[in-house]
Amino acid sequence: MCVQGNHCELWVSLYSAGIPFELCLKEKYWHQTVEVPCHQSIRHPTVYINLPTVKLTCLQNVAHGQFGYIDVARYETAAGSKEVYVKRPIIHGYSLLREACIQKLVGEHLQRIGYLHGAPTVEHVFRLRDGSICFAMEQIEGACTLDKYMETVPTPQLPHVIVECLLQLCGMKFYLTQTLGMNHRDLKPSNCLIVEHEPQTRLIQVDREVIEIQTRRSITLIDFGFACVGSPVTRQSYMALSTVYSKEDPCPKEGRDLYVFLGLIYIDYHRKLSPNLLALFEAWLEVPGSTLCTLMRKDGEHSKQWLYFMAGNEQIVTFNSCPQRIIRDLMRVFHS
């Protein structure tokens, strides 16, 4: 808990997002004390923020899911004009403030360890006239979702791309779990952005081991609407979003996010994995007493419900898919 100016890792400042407020996510009722003003234009409702110094104008809706809308908007400030994404809730009056805070926290912490676009920057948090609290975030130039990207990768190159992505995700997830006690709880390829660039050297640290890799791709985490933060020691949650998981769901669970990510890739691509990578996937996904890999090969899309059931099982707090093991196995098999 943050006390008398001594800030813990879960301290969040919203000043850069247009809200003059600072908070600690460990505090139980902090979100009830944050005042988010409404500056939506009455005459032009698509102008979400209409201030002399800040203007946010919706250009078009680009996605409509079960839990929210994504708009493209023009964001104008004294620094200039640029396009951003806006996330709005499906239910009028619902607040995305807590999600915005987790995304902001994750992005700022990942920057500390070299992931400059680990999560999109939260540009502005605002309220609409229907009471909904929304947020605008940066666009990652040249990025697409990982699921769409993988569909374009030739089969011979697919194992290399998967290994490169896994190494980065392991570095991210180890830090986020150990430092913030954070689980994404919906880490799937469609909730990752990927962008290609010139070859870069990246240092990845897991435990006390630091490895150096050359990468032509960078991963960005998106959609934190199911996320939770808790104590890595007691696994008791300080804050958990969504009602999909039970209130008693331990948080963080070691390896849970990568378990879901690996399982979803296995369902769609197990026939295209190289033999050694396939064997690793099945070892990482193995849970005592389960035959999940057999089920996933047989039932494909229909087996995803069992994958999420295992991820939400309150009796399982550690998975074989922890970052330390994945890093060790990948380095042994592919970089020895």
Q: What is the pLDDT of residues 185-241, one digit of tens each?
A: 999 999 999 999 999 998 888 888 888 888 999 999 999 999 999 999 999 999 999
112, 138, 164: which is the final residue of a domain? 138
Q: Are residues 107 and 40 in the same domain?
A: yes
Q: Are residues 56 and 154 in the same domain?
A: no
CATH for 31: 3.30.200.20
| Distance set, CA 183 to CA 115, 186, 193, 231 (Å) | 18, 9, 18, 11
Residue with tokens 């830090």: 175
**Which amino acid would we find at residue 9?**
E
121, 138, 155: which is the final residue of a domain? 138
Can you give the pTM of this predicted structure?
0.95
Q: Is 278:270 a contact under the CB 8 Å cutoff?
A: yes
138, 154, 180: which is the final residue of a domain? 138
| Distance set, CA 333 to CA 172, 298, 328 (Å) | 21, 27, 9
Q: Are residues 232 and 310 in the same domain?
A: yes
Residue 253 DSSP one-character state = P
Mean pLDDT of the chain: 93
According to the model, what pLDDT value does residue 286 have?
Answer: 86
Distance (Å, whole) CA 102 – CA 114: 19
Render pLDDT for 272-321 as a digit per residue (tens, 0 to 9): 999 999 999 999 998 776 788 998 999 988 899 989 999 999 999 999 99
Distance (Å, whole) CA 202 – CA 128: 41
Q: Is 293:266 a contact under the CB 8 Å cutoff?
A: yes
Q: Determine the 3-state secondary structure of 276 from DSSP.
A: helix
**Which residue segment(s) compose the domain that 131 sits in?**
11-138
Q: Which of 34-43, 242-251, 254-263, 274-283 comes out lowest in average pLDDT? A: 242-251
Structural domain includes residue 268: yes
Structural domain includes residue 4: no
Q: How far does CA 32 lie from the centroid of its chain?
A: 24
Structural domain includes residue 2: no
Q: Are residues 177 and 239 in the same domain?
A: yes
Q: Are residues 93 and 111 in the same domain?
A: yes
What is the tally of structural domains in the chain? 2
Q: Tell me phi and psi for residue 53, to 5 degrees.
A: -105, -15
Q: Tell me phi and psi for residue 168, to 5 degrees.
A: -65, -45
